[in-house]
Amino acid sequence: MMIYGYIRVSTDKQTVENQRFEINDFCDRNSTVVNKWIEETISGARSVEERKLGRLLKRMKKGDVLICSELSRLGRNLLMIMGVLNECMNRDIRVWTIKDNYRLGSDINSKVLAFAFGLSAEIERNLISQRTKEALARKRAEGVTLGRPHGSKSSKMKLTGQEKKIKELLDKQVSFSAIGRILGVHRLTVSNFVKCNPDIVSDKLFS
């Protein structure tokens, strides 16, 4: 079993020392030792996958413990926090918070809570879906054309913004296939982009 101490601050101006002190004090009072610390300076609004927390959760195993000063360190909003807690409980990872005094594990109370988390998340997804459908229906009723008009093309293509780079390569007589490899796209994507943007093609290519 591994015990992880997780500390997150939103800005460089905030200090991690208060959170570290709270966790260490808690461990001393409960004869527990943190095996590994994870600290990061990042907004709680960023997705879990973008944070060290996401990488930590992936390597944590059944029976491991995650200790943090309070639930708000796990995320900015309730839905994000519920997602983290739900994943932990589904994998039998325990989460302890100090200020909130939560002890979430594999006991029956935690499982009931996990069910509530999952149900809340599903309800939220359904509400978002329903609001989207209602908004689209209202737009249709008002006569608004939804989506891209039939036969039209998007004004922004995958290579939009790369015109200068493509022109330089074309001027050097680099093939579409080679340009595709350089830009990480298929040669047909390059070919179609050039056809739609003939002004980037040098006249000497046709001389």
Domain locations in the chain as residue ranges: 3-117, 163-206
**Which among 10, 13, 11, 34 is positioned nearest to 22, based on CA atoms?**
34
What is the model's pLDDT at position 205? 46
Residues facing residue 38 across a β-bridge: 6
Q: Which residues of 64-85 are buried (b: 16+ CB within 10 A; e: fewer)?
A: bbbbbbebebbbeeeebbbbbb
- The pair of structure tokens assigned to 127 is 């509400």
**Catalytic annotation, residues:** 10
**Residue labelled with tokens 């309730």:** 78
Query: Looking at the domain 3-117, which fold is it?
Result: Rossmann fold (3.40.50)
What is the model's pLDDT at position 155? 40
Highest mean pLDDT, choosing among 8-17, 98-107, 110-119, 169-178:
169-178
**Residue labelled with tokens 């997602």:** 83
What is the model's pLDDT at position 12? 67
